[in-house]
Structure 1
Amino acid sequence: MKKLYSIFICLVFTSALMAQSKNFLDVPYLETSAKVDTLISPDKIYLSITIQEKDSKGRKSVEEQENKMAQSLKSLGIDIDKQLTIKDLASNYKKYFLRSKEVLKSKQYSLLVYDGLTAGKVMASLEDLDIANTYLEKTEYSKMNELELELKTRAVKKAKLKADALTKPLGQKIGMAIHIIDNSQPYYQRYNQPNIRMKAMAMEDAGSPEPLDIGFEKIRVESTVNVKFKIMD
């Protein structure tokens, strides 16, 4: 008896789903899609900095160079406690061997700055300290989630405008949205490693006393939606 009752419930549920599907297809509707995009300037810029012991008679230790770097960054208004981190937390130092089997140490950091002008000042100051192994690690936009939601809203509004434009010449109107698909691709962080050190050197060769205000590539963010609107008589 229980088995028969279960089969009956399944049949009723399946019939209900088929009826809903049929009702959806029977409703006259208009399908539109819309895409919006924008370009934004990054407001979080990460620089990778590597300090190595110097293989020379006047060798400078990693610790000595690190202290000088910290003083230089502080003079630029950088909060090293919040903006400067060691990249390899498991091991503060990396060691490498010379042909003479002598061991030298290196240390790698990640520095966060918020604009291109500060990034240019940092590179210029590191050049003065003979710390030339610096490159752009990645860029981010701090309000990416809010921006993506705003673009989705704009895309839906654009889809509605298109639907209005398509039905107006027919003397019809669109009603409520009966199906919405968000085809937007999430923004994936891009990691870059261009040799921005050369820009700082070119600035120095040009004899310009001002630090370089680096213009970073803008981030493209887009949103795409597909909407079905009910057509009203």
Structure 2
Amino acid sequence: MKKALLILSILFVSMSYGQEVKQIPQINVNGEGKVKVVPDQATIAVTVETKGNNAKDVKKQNDEKIDAVLKFIKKMNLAPADYKTQRVSLNPQYDYEKKKHSYNATQTIEILLRDLSKYDELMEGLVNEGINRIDNVTFQSSKLAQYQSEARKLAMKDAKLKAEDYVSVLGQKVGRAMTISDNSQTYYPQPMYAAMKTMERSDASAPRETLAVGEINITANVTVSFILE
């Protein structure tokens, strides 16, 4: 019985290898969709940094500045959910030449500014209240998900158009998609902002221009495999 089963297994394997593997005609193409958007909000990371020889005094001074900064932010009528403490630190530092310890206290606040018309007022007020380090400013769109969806659709249309161009000379047609790979990345411009530095104008009454937000390129990249008919 075992011998018969072994013979049947060998015959089955032989028949399987003897059969031809049917190849499905297909084409692989890349597609790109791009949407350019003017930012309508910004995420700002600012820090109060205080140095001194006494840890308790350094922390106290830093806390006082942060208190003034938070009160100013509240006066700007920002929603409580739009600003938060990102990190806090108090670190000892040793000066080997003077053989003395000093201390460095920092607290970083992250702010989501939904109205860019308040940008200059906010930045100048922060500096006046004690902010001495602007770590990062990232401009973005409040409708990012919508624009990403548009970019993805454009990428798929681009991929199908490319496939149709390639196969049109072969007398074939592009069929349904077999696989789709999303290779998208979103880029946010992150300009360096010098606090209190503005463009000088000869006309003092003219409004100052301190911000050039530019555009966000929201790009979707896909790789699609289409069946050929």
Correspondence for 1:176:
175
C-alpha distance 14-102 of structure 1, shift in aligned 2 (>3 A): same
C-alpha distance 161-189 of structure 1, shift in aligned 2 (>3 A): closer
In the alignment, structure 1 segments of 5+ residues that lack a partner are: none
Report Cα offsets for 1:122-175 as digits up to 9, x if no partner: 2111222242311325444455455444333222223334455566677x5625
Choose the corresponding residue for 2:49, options 52, 76, 87. 52
The answer to whether the 8 Å contact 2:139/2:189 transfers is yes
Report Cα offsets for 1:91-116 as digits up to 9, x if no partner: x3323448663545322222222354
Correspondence for 1:218:
215
Whether 1:185 aligns to 2:220 is no
Aligned equivalents of 1:211, 1:3: Cα separation in 2: 90
The answer to whether the 8 Å contact 1:49/1:134 transfers is yes
Aligned equivalents of 1:145, 1:7: Cα separation in 2: 57
Alignment of 1:75-90 (within 5 A): 75-79=75-79, 81-88=80-87
Shift of 1:196: 0.6
Aligned equivalents of 2:34, 2:140: Cα separation in 1: 17
Alignment of 1:1-233 (within 5 A): 1=2, 4=6, 19=21, 22-25=22-25, 32-53=29-50, 61-79=61-79, 81-88=80-87, 92-97=88-93, 101-141=101-141, 143-164=143-164, 172=171, 174-177=173-176, 179-182=178-181, 184-187=182-185, 192=190, 194-198=191-195, 200-202=196-198, 214-220=211-217, 221-231=219-229
The answer to whether the 8 Å contact 1:134/1:196 transfers is yes
Normalising by structure 2, we get a TM-score of 0.66
Report Cα offsets for 1:179-225 as digits up to 9, x if no partner: 4443x423266695x54124x32258985785756233433223233
Aligned equivalents of 1:129, 1:190: Cα separation in 2: 28
Same amino acid, percent of matched pairs: 15
The answer to whether the 8 Å contact 2:137/2:193 transfers is no
Report Cα offsets for 1:37-88 as digits up to 9, x if no partner: 2223445522221113376xxx981222122111211222212x31222222
The answer to whether the 8 Å contact 2:51/2:105 transfers is no
The answer to whether the 8 Å contact 2:68/2:130 transfers is no
Aligned equivalents of 2:9, 2:147: Cα separation in 1: 49
Normalising by structure 1, we get a TM-score of 0.65
C-alpha distance 30-186 of structure 1, shift in aligned 2 (>3 A): closer
Alignment length (residue pairs):
215
Aligned equivalents of 1:11, 1:124: Cα separation in 2: 81
Residue range with higher mean Cα deviation, 60-69 or 30-39:
30-39
C-alpha distance 205-174 of structure 1, shift in aligned 2 (>3 A): same
Aligned equivalents of 1:42, 1:111: Cα separation in 2: 16
Select the structure that is richer in strand: 2
